[in-house]
Each structure stands twice: as structure tokens, then as C-alpha cells.
Structure 1
Amino acid sequence: MLEYMSSWDLLIIAIYFGITLWIAWWASRVHGKPQIEQDSADYFLAGKNEGWFVIGASLFSSNIGSEIILGVSGAGARAEMPMANFEMLAAFILILLGWVFVPFYLRTGVYTMPEFLELRYSKACRNYLSVVSILAYVITKISLIIFSGALIFETMGVPFWTGAIIIVLATGFYTVLGGLKAVIYTDMVQAFILIASCGAVTYFGLAQLGGWDEMITTIQQASTKPGNPPLERFFNLWRPMTDTQYPWTGMLFGAPILGVWYWCTDQFIVQRTLSARDISNARRGALFAGFLKLLPVFIFFIPGVIAYALLQKGMLDFSTSNADYALPAMITGFLPSGLKGLAIAGLLAALMSSLSSAFNSSSTLFTIDFYKQYKPKASEKELVWVGQLATVALVFVSLGWIPFMKSLMGGGIFFYLQSIQAYISPPIAAVFLFGLYFKWMNAKGAIVSLWMGFALGVSRLVIEFMSKEGIIEVKEGSLVNIFLDINFLHFAIILFVICAVIMVIVSRLTPPQSEKSLRLVTFQRSGIKTKLVFTSDVILTIILIISVLALWVFFSPWGIAN
């Protein structure tokens, strides 16, 4: 890609790095004080004084990594629009975060999600979630972000290793420097660089094609050729229940289970809302992020569809078997000088915001859930110092993991490592949700549910891997074959129900927890008012719900798009 870039493009990328590091330096000074004077609330929760705008932008930016941008645009080029449903469903789950979960998190004053589980259940539940979260971040999330970032540099002509080291060191530097405050303020700027750059790709791609109507006509004409998908597959979010990839039942009932875990209980995301100055700002931040999550349909997915149409007209060259390269092909093919640099900066912003969030949340979990438990009398300065050291350690672990990661990426094992998150999320979602609504759910029920759910999820993962890699042979029609044939979203529903049933049975057969200990962590004992008043938050929530429903209708078999 470097040969397609002008000096203006390279200058814009350099300016992007400069702005990011300057913001990190600025954010590292709390109320004009040097970073050395920060306490743990300043470093891990940005002083608990952030407003809704920066929280919402940070939620969006942390979630959107370059792998999501390339993956969703690739889905557009492959006519796999149901994948865009994950983006729109996130808006509903963010409403749940703002209205249901945030009040509990802020009133209890927790720093981490495992800490909340200890308040609701027990230390064993806290330790489970802490260990599982840190391992998942290091082995899967951080690795994938670094790999995708190195690939972006590689397309620019920069060697893989050099790109990986630049990404890790630059992101690690400002994360160590300013903690969560540096992370969320750089996230805010990166979010709008990302939106502007991908919006530019959409605009110039359509202009090159000749407009929306020309895109529709091109796809319709291409659909008459053998092997090409019909037009409706590009603009239909819903597929039959028998679809092996995206059944509508799995999307409507299974995907929200994964969403509850990711958006409402994962430290990686929720830590931003914990930095809010009050519940109202945290809720509005979640709602703002919900509106932003409607954009990927238009700035990630639609460019993939445009790329497919350009390919059919011979105006773009990429392989549909590797459609994730559709967006980079458009960047190099049609963006004018200067905007190419902005687009690359957008991709770098996406991966750096995700990586800094992973670094920061991992160091917070280590410091609060392990070090502070080991040394409860540690001073505020000591906790900040340990958090910084933990981030530095993560940087070096990430660099050391790169050789293994690169070899794993060549085979199927890395895909299965990524799938861990999908298979371990239902029990965590069940424990959080049922814990809030039913005070008689107890610690024994929760920990048994967590471990049983983990065993079932990992069993599915291991058997699936061994089967597809040819390590074991699965006979057609056998119970193992039936087990593996369950769509992963349907499996999430089944696993969630199993975990809920286990929680109910064990909790009913064992003594209940003390009523006093549940005062702030369940609805029955929290004193939360349920009377609905039409405040601006309620109105925004209703508008967001209507917006998602309108998109669902628009991109459906009976919608205008088809």
C-alpha cells in the first residue's frame, strides 16, 4: 500500500500518532497535577468524573477494532448481512447496561466486575471471573488486535514484526502514562477519526460506482451468473431457523446472551461507565454508544457491498474468498491523496483504542482483584504503581506472544481460541442477570453454574477443534455429531438455560445468603424506583429502540431495501 500513498498520506498518519500521544500526555495530568500524584480512582477510573459524551465515544471506539471493520465489510462483500445484526443488537444491550446494570455498579462503588460478583455472591465467583477474564484478554483479544494491526502495517510495506512492535509500544506507552483517562480521551478522538475515514470510503466508493441505483443494478445483473448471490441476500438481516450460520432464532435470542456478557459484565467495556461522574452520565453515555452502534451498517457493511459491485464491473480487484481485504482495496483504489492517510489512521485508531482498553482493563483486574486482595493495606500510590507495572508486563508478554500468535494464525487453532469467549459467556451472563433479579440465588448456585457452564462450553470447543482438525472421527448421526451440529448461537441459548436451571436447583437446595449482604446488589433490596418518568433519558431510549426496529424492517424480506 505504501506505493499508493503520497507524502500527504504519510504526514496525516504521523499527525495522528502525534495527536494521540499529546492527548495521552494531557490526560495523564489530573486537574493540572502531574501523573505521579494520581490515586487509584484517578488512574483506574479516570477520577470518576467523566461526562456522557466521552464515555459513549470510548465505548464505541473500544468495541470497534480493525478486525471488526474488516470482518463486517468482508461480510458485505460476501452477502452476509445477518452479521450486521450483532452491531444493531448492541444498541439494545447498551440500553440494558444503562438502565439495569449501571445503577448497581456505581452505587456499590466497585472498580471491577469480579469485585461486584464478590459483593453479590462470594470470593470464589470473583476469582473465577478475574482469572477467566485476564486469560481471555491476553490469549485472544490482545493477540488478535496486535496481529490485525501488524497486517495493516504490512499492507503499507512495513514488515510484520516492525508493525507489531510499533503498535504495542505506542499503545502501551500512553496506557501506562495516563491510565483510563488517557485511554478514554484518546478513544474519543479515535472514534471520530474512524467514523470520518470509513464515511469517506463509503462516499468515494459510491461516487466511483455511479451511485446507489447503479450499485443495485450491478448486483442484480451479477446475480444472473452462476454462483453469485441474489440481491436480497445483500440487504436481508433475517435468515431461516435452519440456516447453519445466522438463523433468525439464534440472532434474536442467542446473540443477546453474548451481548449481555460483553456489554454489561466484561471489564473491557464496563470500566468506561464506572468512570462516570454520576448514574445519569453513565446511562447517557451508554445510550450515545447505542446510537453510534447503528453506524457500522452504513460505514462498514455497505462499503463491502459497494466493493462487490465494483468487483463485478471490473473496477476493483480482490478475491471474494478473502473478502476481508475489500475495504483496503477500496482505500488504495479510490480515495484521493490525503484521505488515504486518514483511512489508514482510522484503521490504526480502531486497533489502538481496542488494545489500550485491553491493556488497561487487564492491569485493573490484576491490581484490584489480586494485588489489593493480597496486600489490602497498600497505599493509593502503590496501587497506581502496580497498575503501571502490570501494563508494562502486559506489553512485554504481548511482544513475547507474537511468534506463537503468528504461527497459530496460520492454522485453525486461533479461530478456536477466539471462540472461547462465545462459549464461556452464557454462564457469566446468567449469573449476573439472575443475581440482580432474584435475591434467593446464592453463592453456591452461582459458582456451580459458572464451572458447569465453563466445562460444557470448553467441551464443545475442544471436540469441535479435534473433529475439524482430523484428530478424532465423528460418525454421522452420533450424539457427538448432533452436539457439534448445533449452531453456536443456538448453543448459547441452550447453555444459558442449562446454567440458569443449575443455579435455581443448587440455590434452592442450599441455605440462602444473608439479606443484609444483598442490600445494594439486587433489585428487591436496592431501593431503586420503578416509576417511569418521561425524562430525556427515557425519550432517547425510545428513539433508539424505534431506530433499531426501523432498520430491522428496512433490511428485511418485506422492507424497502428489498
Structure 2
Amino acid sequence: MNPMFPLALSNQLHAIDYGVFLVYFAIVSVYGYWIYNKKKRDEASTTDFFLAEGSLTWWAIGASLIASNISAEQFIGMSGDGFRLGVAIAAYEWIAAISLIVVGVFFLPIYLKNRIFTMPQFLKERYNESVALIMAVFWLFLYVLVNLTSILYLGAEAIRPMLGIEHSQGVMVALAIFATIITIGGMKVIGYTDVIQVVVLIFGGLATTYIALKMVSEYLGIDGGAIAGFNALMERAPDHFHMMLWKPGPDASPEYVSKYLAVPASMYIAGQWVANLNYWGCNQYITQRALGADLETARKGLLFAGFLKLLMPVLVMLPGIAAFVLHQNGQLQEQMLKNGQVSGDQAYSAVLTFLPIGLRGLSVAALTAAIVASLAGKANSISTIFTLDIYKRYINTGASEKKLIWIGRLAIVLSMVAALAFTWQDTLNIGGEGGFKFIQKYTGYISPGIFAMFLLGMFWQRTTGAAAIAGLLSGFGLSVFFNEVAPRLSRENLLYTAYPNGKVIDGAPVYEIPFLICMGWAFAFSILLMVVISLFGPKVNPKAFAIDRTMFRVSPSTLALIVIILMLLGALYIKFW
């Protein structure tokens, strides 16, 4: 055993690790309290509390976007997918960088010009109140019962072993309290504390990746440190370094088919774009960070987030590939087991067991930062939608600014309590289904319809309210059809090919269409249906937004940033094609 890893294979934190973690907690708390006191005199404004209007800088917006996005499902789920699939899973992060460019250039000008503060407000002003109310209620249930619950459960399960705690409920309560304290301070507190969270996340993540690569070189007897470890990964697991997984042939191995089902190359035609653009452009707790800023600041914030997205696979995917190579060479045999079987979801925690004193505390702090920031972001969005789109509009139309802020804070507390109640005994079976699958199951089915509704609502003035409702319902129905019904009707046709997914029911193999291909077709047919219905309406819908091409012009500095991101992304795809 190399002396660099004095606590190898130990799950327990040292006193120094606890000290590092407490320093992180103290810095975030003190800084958040200072920001809160600094803005307290302006607190009577709801736009300040919910949006931090005009007070977030571009770097705070970008950092807050990443902090809200990265959580336990990335650290655990993407590391696990790195173990199973390799670099192909990085598409979720790297295509997100392009999606952020698209949102910044084309979506944000429409939101900001029309003073859109919430996504239900967009639907009300573009379509009608019925569409807005339906989606407001839906988003509240989704954010509380899917997002908050999954983050709490996965976060507690990830941190609990490092603390040597048998049950996760205490960790859940601590995470919920920490996130609530940050959230009730308002968006400005969230935005600026997220900067610290992202710094901790990046440095802790880089430290974990460095040690993982160092471990590979040490255990394989290769000189050269982390760089040699990375080269060893490419040599020992070449199948893990291909971005494009092409359609399997008749002789393809079950392992390759399993990888293709998760990230097929054809997803780049539509499905991957639907997932990313819907998430980054039509999602309250993401877009909310930019809606309170001016266009130039908001755009630069999104582009800064785009740069950080290029880095994320290094933090959360490479440790998974390192764990795969180590496992293939006889290491981490016990650490990769879950319920007696090898599980990729154990990869990140397995790597953490090798971190030296101090760095382990930093890595746990990074994981905690990601979890708390995501909880705070989602809780703030729940508060914003409930207060502005339901309470103010339907319950108390004459409420004062001060009353609205306190209602928003009450919504934050109640949403956290509800999330804790559903995760206390894992009532929703998040652990049984797997965290990433749980999230995809309840969000992926509705993404095609929502994105179709937003996309045509923004850029086609003829789109009607009836078409919007039809698109939303058809998107969900088609997603269910392609995922659950179509593989039983036909295994191959012009639209898709279904493959055995390794499961067997009543002695017969179960066939599956890649999820992202299903999403692409559901989106395409939803768009087609919306177009047909809208053609029966007026040529210009009275509620359509006016679009001026000058809205989409970017400054020279913004254009330079876009070009740099695209060049970096192009280099990555050329390297790992």
C-alpha cells in the first residue's frame, strides 16, 4: 500500500476532516448572514426576494446555475455511469454547454423583454390562465415530490457512510435545515453563497479526481502520477472513451447493447436536445437565476455556466472510470458491492475511501455543497411559483409585498417538511428504483410536451392555447407509448429498433427502445400536432409575443465567449469521437 493513502479503505472521517467540513459550514453561514443583513433594508420587494433583481453579477448567476444543477445524482449517478458507460455519458454535460448558449442568445431576450418572472407566468401571457394554472400545480408537485425528495435521499445516502452513521434520517434533517436557512434569505443570499458552494465543489471534486488518477498509476505500477493514471485509463479501458455509441449489429454483446440503450448516438438528432433545452430553458429553478438581471449580464452568466459544464465530467465522471479500471485489476472488490452485486453507483464513495486526511473532509464538503445548493435552488423556485402564480393570483390578490415574502418563506419551510416526510422511510421507493431512474421516470415523460409548448410559443406567433394543451398531453401520451407499448408491438421499423435490456418476464426477454430516442419521437409528433391544430386558428395569435431580430444580437465579448466554448467542445468531441 502506498503511503500516500494512509487511510485507504476506511470510510470514517478523521478529526481534521470534520474540521475542514466545519470551516466550510462556517464560511457559508457567515457569508450568507452578511449578505442577508446587507440587503435587509431592501427586503420589502418581492422581485428582490425571489429574483435578486439587478443585484447578481454574471459570475454569481453562472455559479448559482451550476450549484443548483449539480447534486448527489451527478456525483453518484454520473460516476456510476462513468463506471458502466464511460465518457459517452458526458454528453449530458457537454451538450448542456451548447444549450446554455441557445438559451442565452434566443430564450432570454424573450423572457426579459416581456418581464417574465416565472414559467407559469409565461404560459399565462402567451396562452391562457388554464394552461398556466395546470402547469403551476404540476411543477409544485414535481419539485416537491421528485426533486427535493430525490436530492435529500441520495444526498443522505452518499454522505451517511462517510460519517459512520447507520441511518440516513439525521443527515436528511441536517441537509434540509442548512438549505432552508440559506433559502429564506432570498435569491441574493442563494446566488452569492452558491459562489462559495461552487468553489468548494470544484476544488473538492478536482482533489477527488486527482487522487483517483493517482491511485490508478500507483496500483498499476506506472510512474507519472495523475497524467500517467489518465493515460492508463485510456489504455486499459478503451471502450470507455467513445462519445458516439452507434447502432448495435446482430453480433453486439449484451454489454454494448446496454450502453447503447442509455446513450445512443442517434440521441444527438433530437432527444438529447429536448432534454437539455427543456431543462436549461423552460425550468423555473434554472431560468430564475437569470430573470432578475439585464440581458448582457444574464448572457455572460449562462456562458460562464457553460464553461463550468465542460469541466463537470472531469469532476464526476473520471472517478467512475478510474474505479472501473481499479476494479478490473483486483481493487475495490468489496467497495463496489451493493446488495451482493457490483454496482456502478458505489464508484464515487469507493474512491472517497482512498482520500488522505483533510481531502476527505473537503470532498464531503463538496458533496454537501452540491446537495445544499440544489435543495436551496429548488425550494426557492417552489416558493416563487406558489407565491406569485397561485397565492397572489388566486388566494390573496391584494397581499402586500411583506406578506408575500413571508408566504414565500412559509412555502419554503413546508416544502422541506413535506420532502422529509416522504423520504423518512423512502415512501416513494427512490432507493428501489435508483435515484437517476426515479428522476427520469417522472420528468422525462413530460419534457417533450413542455418543450414543444415553450418552443412554438416563443417563435411561432400562430400557436394557440388549444395547441399548447394538446402538445402537453400528446407529449406525455407519446412518451408512455414509445417507452412502454411500442417495444411490445414491433421490435424494428422505420421509427425505432427495440433491444433486449437484460430483464426477463415470464421466461421472455424484455425489449426496450433507447429512452432518448423515445423522447425525440414524442417531441417531433407533439410539434406536428400543435402545428396542425394552430393552422385552424388565426394567422397571428393575439397573445403572441412580438419578436424583433435585434433582440438576438450579441455583443463582441459575448460572441468571443461563445466561439471559445464551441471550439473547446469541438476539440473534446474530436478527441473522444
What band does the TM-score fall into relative to the shorter chain?
A: 0.7 to 0.9
Shift of 1:547: 1.1
Matches within 5 A, 1:91-240: 91-155=97-161, 156-158=163-165, 159-176=167-184, 178-210=185-217, 211=225, 212-214=227-229, 216-217=231-232, 220=235, 231-240=237-246
Shift of 1:485: 3.0
In the alignment, what sits opposite 1:289? 305
Candidates 457, 463, 467, aligned match of 1:445 = 467
C-alpha distance in 2, partners of 1:493/1:367? 34
Matches within 5 A, 1:121-520: 121-155=127-161, 156-158=163-165, 159-176=167-184, 178-210=185-217, 211=225, 212-214=227-229, 216-217=231-232, 220=235, 231-242=237-248, 243-276=260-293, 278-317=294-333, 318-319=335-336, 321-333=342-354, 335-374=355-394, 375-403=396-424, 405=426, 408-412=429-433, 415-416=437-438, 418-458=440-480, 485-511=512-538, 514-515=541-542, 517-518=543-544
Candidates 539, 550, 555, aligned match of 1:529 = 550
C-alpha distance in 1, partners of 2:61/2:120? 21
The one-letter code of the counterpart of 1:506 is I
Residues 241 and 462 (structure 1), Cα distance of their counterparts in 2 relative to 1, 3 Å cut? closer
Matches within 5 A, 1:29-48: 29-31=37-39, 33=41, 37-48=43-54
The one-letter code of the counterpart of 1:260 is L
In the alignment, what sits opposite 1:12? 20
Unaligned segments of structure 1, at least 5 residues = 222-230, 468-473, 557-562
Task: Indicate the SS of the match to 2:246.
Answer: coil
The one-letter code of the counterpart of 2:283 is D
Shift of 1:497: 1.0
C-alpha distance in 1, partners of 2:424/2:526? 37
The one-letter code of the counterpart of 2:471 is S
Task: Indicate the SS of the match to 2:262.
Answer: coil
Aligned Cα RMSD in Å?
2.6
Is the Cα–Cα contact under 8 Å of residues 82 and 238 in structure 1 kept in the other structure? yes
Residues 95 and 217 (structure 1), Cα distance of their counterparts in 2 relative to 1, 3 Å cut? closer
Shift of 1:358: 1.0
The answer to whether residue 570 in structure 2 is matched with residue 549 in structure 1 is: yes
The one-letter code of the counterpart of 2:513 is I
The one-letter code of the counterpart of 1:63 is N
Residues 108 and 29 (structure 1), Cα distance of their counterparts in 2 relative to 1, 3 Å cut? farther
Shift of 1:486: 2.5
In the alignment, what sits opposite 1:226? none
C-alpha distance in 1, partners of 2:234/2:561? 37
Residues 207 and 232 (structure 1), Cα distance of their counterparts in 2 relative to 1, 3 Å cut? closer
Which is further off, 412-421 or 319-328?
Answer: 412-421
Shift of 1:47: 3.0
Shift of 1:245: 2.4
Is the Cα–Cα contact under 8 Å of residues 423 and 461 in structure 1 kept in the other structure? no
Is the Cα–Cα contact under 8 Å of residues 427 and 450 in structure 1 kept in the other structure? yes
Residues 526 and 49 (structure 1), Cα distance of their counterparts in 2 relative to 1, 3 Å cut? farther
Which is further off, 146-155 or 480-489?
Answer: 480-489
Is the Cα–Cα contact under 8 Å of residues 420 and 458 in structure 1 kept in the other structure? no
The one-letter code of the counterpart of 2:289 is R
The one-letter code of the counterpart of 1:425 is S
Shift of 1:285: 0.3
C-alpha distance in 2, partners of 1:126/1:191? 33
Task: Indicate the SS of the match to 1:377.
Answer: coil
C-alpha distance in 2, partners of 1:19/1:439? 49
Shift of 1:24: 2.5
Matches within 5 A, 1:44-63: 44-63=50-69
In the alignment, what sits opposite 2:71? 65
C-alpha distance in 1, partners of 2:229/2:283? 43
C-alpha distance in 2, partners of 1:145/1:371? 26
Is the Cα–Cα contact under 8 Å of residues 159 and 364 in structure 2 kept in the other structure? no
Q: Normalised by the size of structure 2, how large is the TM-score?
A: 0.85
The structure with more helix, counted as a fraction of residues: 1
C-alpha distance in 2, partners of 1:458/1:48? 42
Is the Cα–Cα contact under 8 Å of residues 54 and 184 in structure 1 kept in the other structure? yes
Number of matched residues?
A: 528
Shift of 1:460: 5.7
C-alpha distance in 1, partners of 2:153/2:15? 26
Shift of 1:455: 3.1
C-alpha distance in 2, partners of 1:114/1:94? 21
Q: Percent identity?
A: 32
C-alpha distance in 1, partners of 2:151/2:17? 23
Is the Cα–Cα contact under 8 Å of residues 88 and 294 in structure 1 kept in the other structure? yes
Task: Indicate the SS of the match to 2:326.
Answer: helix
Shift of 1:115: 0.3
Shift of 1:447: 1.7
Residues 15 and 545 (structure 1), Cα distance of their counterparts in 2 relative to 1, 3 Å cut? same
Shift of 1:20: 2.1
Residues 250 and 514 (structure 1), Cα distance of their counterparts in 2 relative to 1, 3 Å cut? closer
Residues 69 and 380 (structure 1), Cα distance of their counterparts in 2 relative to 1, 3 Å cut? same
Is the Cα–Cα contact under 8 Å of residues 24 and 185 in structure 1 kept in the other structure? yes
Residues 331 and 22 (structure 1), Cα distance of their counterparts in 2 relative to 1, 3 Å cut? same
Is the Cα–Cα contact under 8 Å of residues 85 and 251 in structure 1 kept in the other structure? no
Q: Normalised by the size of structure 1, how large is the TM-score?
A: 0.88
C-alpha distance in 1, partners of 2:58/2:310? 18
Which is further off, 440-449 or 191-200?
Answer: 440-449
C-alpha distance in 2, partners of 1:532/1:147? 43
The one-letter code of the counterpart of 2:274 is I
Shift of 1:195: 0.5
Shift of 1:232: 2.5
Shift of 1:322: 1.1
In the alignment, what sits opposite 2:253? none
Give a deviation string over 1:151-177, Cα, whole Å, max 9, x none. 13321212311111111122112212x
Residues 508 and 18 (structure 1), Cα distance of their counterparts in 2 relative to 1, 3 Å cut? same
Give a deviation string over 1:439-471, Cα, whole Å, max 9, x none. 11122211221122233335566769xx9xxxx
Residues 179 and 69 (structure 1), Cα distance of their counterparts in 2 relative to 1, 3 Å cut? same
Task: Indicate the SS of the match to 2:41.
Answer: coil
